[in-house]
Amino acid sequence: MAKTGYFVVIGCGRLGSRVAGYLSEQGHSVVVIDAREERFERLPAEFTGFTIHGDASEIETLKQAKMERADVVMALTSDDNTNFMLAQIARKMFGVTRVISYVHNPENMELFKDFSIEAFCPVLLAFETLKGLLEEMKS
């Protein structure tokens, strides 16, 4: 990847908007997709990227986002199945080398791993954090 990259962020929720804002701040090119236009209001005022109001499960929307040029695609919708499908489409149809997916249900992590999809699960991150807080307590 060049010093700055081209990022497609799918899902402009609490995490997606924050990540998109951060990437834009870091000087990257960013396109954010969301089916609910009002969610773009979450983006910081300084956001210099593009927004696409559309359904990311339609190929047309992904083409519009020039997904084939993306260095990284982040599948951050609120639905694990959608994120799984987006990761597969990004890689197989658009040849994107790096896709990172949000996994809501910890039980789905295995499926994503089986398909070698880079994934993170905030529930598991929170669980580890809580375990850490309780460990501290013992000492």
Residues that bind a copy of itself (CB under 8 A): 1, 14-15, 18-19, 22-23, 72, 74, 98, 100, 102, 104-106, 118, 120, 122-123, 125-127, 129-131, 133-134, 137-138
Is the Cβ of residue 55 or residue 97 nearer to a copy of itself in the bound state?
A: 97
Enumerate the β-bridge partners of residue 7.
30, 72
- CB of 81 vs a copy of itself, minimal distance in Å: 16
Q: Which is nearer to a copy of itself, 64 or 79 (CB)?
A: 79
- Burial string for 118-134 (b: 16+ CB within 10 Å, else e) reads ebebeeeeeeeeeeeee
Q: 98: which 2 tokens? A: 């790096």
Q: Is residue 53 classed as helix, strand or coil in its secondary structure?
A: strand
How near is the Cβ of 19 to a copy of itself at its closest, in Å?
6
- Shortest distance, CB of residue 100 to a copy of itself, whole angstroms? 6
* Residue among 72 and 86 whose Cβ is closer to a copy of itself: 72
Yes or no: say if 112 and 106 are a contact pair by the CB < 8 Å rule: no
CB of 79 to a copy of itself, least distance (A): 14
Q: State whether residue 31 is helix, strand or coil.
A: strand
For a copy of itself, give the closer residue by CB, 55 or 107.
107
Helix (H, G, I), strand (E, B) or coil at 100: strand
